[in-house]
């Protein structure tokens, strides 16, 4: 018997991809709520960072009147660079801090309401790692979706608001590369935050005895 027990239990990555993608797709509305918290979190960061990038891009080419109006609007370059001041970093940090709490809460909820499903998976022979893998992958999908949407929104809004403040000349030297990098960074940040929120509840849920997970109210 002991010998027979040593047979395989598997969940290939292709199946993990399929199951977790389906899971996000089917409960799209529910996952959009989680995704929204991520989008909002990074959109503010993207707004701030991309705004500074645009100003940094235009500053060397700006004429005196534009420089005066930028400084007049309250932006302060430190060593000829925007966004590296203590105040700016503090702002980004605070906004992230607030959002992390929201994200952890959203992910915690979305795992908790699926305890029954997790219990069922385990009854059918899923290992703890299968459950964790599925949730981690879902979190990555959501992180990418929310992060990309959020950073895109942030960048668009900051570009638009700068145009409104200073006119079209501010985007003539649009720093495409560094703004794209900001977009990438903030998207990855969202993935990271999403993982941060999901990993603990997923581990807890995966380690439950199936009977305990099944007993949980959905």
Number of residues that bind another protein (CB under 8 A): 33
Q: Which is nearer to another protein, 72 or 125 (CB)?
A: 125
- Confirm if 38 and 147 have CB atoms less than 8 A apart: yes
- The Cα–Cα gap between 58 and 51 comes to 11
Piece in contact with another protein (CB under 8 A), picked from 81-89, 118-126, 154-162, 168-176: 118-126
Of 85, 112, 116, 156, the one binding another protein (CB under 8 A) is 116
Determine if 115 is a binding residue for another protein (CB under 8 A).
no
Binding mask 128-157 for another protein (x = CB under 8 A): x-x---------------------------
Nearer to another protein, 10 or 86 (CB): 10
Q: Does 23 bind another protein (CB under 8 A)?
A: yes
Maximum CA extent, the chain: 85
Residue 206: both structure tokens together: 């995966």
Q: Is 87 in the site for another protein (CB under 8 A)?
A: no
> Measured from the CB of residue 8, what is the shortest distance to another protein in angstroms?
5
What phi and psi values does residue 78 have, to the nearest 5 degrees?
-110, 120
| 69 contacts: CB under 8 Å, gap ≥ 6 | 165, 166
Using CA atoms, how far residue 100 sits from 92, 107, 111, 199, in Å, is 12, 11, 16, 13
**112 touching another protein, by CB under 8 A:** no
Closest CA to 32 of 154, 133, 138, 130: 138
Q: How many helices (H) and strands (E) does the chain have?
A: 9, 0
Stretch that binds another protein, among 5-13, 65-73, 81-89, 179-187 (CB under 8 A): 5-13
- Site residues for another protein per CB under 8 A: 1-2, 5-12, 15, 22-23, 26-27, 116-117, 119-128, 130, 209-212, 214
């Amino acid at each position: 018997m002991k010998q027979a027990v040593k047979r395989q239990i598997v969940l290939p990555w292709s199946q993990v991809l399929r199951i977790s993608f389906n899971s996000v797709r089917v409960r799209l509305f529910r996952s959009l709520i989680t995704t929204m918290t991520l989008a909002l979190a990074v959109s503010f960061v993207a707004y701030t960072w991309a705004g500074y990038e645009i100003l940094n891009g235009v500053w060397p080419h700006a004429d005196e009147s534009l420089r005066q109006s930028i400084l007049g609007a309250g932006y302060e370059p430190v060593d000829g660079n925007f966004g590296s001041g203590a105040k700016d970093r503090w702002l980004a940090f605070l906004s992230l801090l607030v959002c992390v709490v929201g994200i952890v809460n959203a992910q915690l909820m979305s795992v908790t309401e699926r305890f029954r499903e997790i219990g069922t998976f385990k009854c059918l022979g899923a290992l703890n790692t299968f459950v964790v893998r599925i949730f981690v992958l879902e979190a990555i999908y959501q992180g990418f979706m929310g992060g990309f949407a959020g950073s895109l929104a942030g960048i668009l809004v900051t570009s638009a608001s700068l145009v409104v403040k200073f006119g079209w000349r501010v985007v003539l030297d649009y720093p495409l590369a560094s703004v794209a990098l900001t977009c990438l960074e903030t998207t990855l940040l969202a993935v990271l935050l999403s993982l941060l929120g999901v990993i603990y509840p997923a581990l807890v849920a995966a380690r439950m005895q199936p009977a305990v997970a099944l007993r949980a109210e959905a």
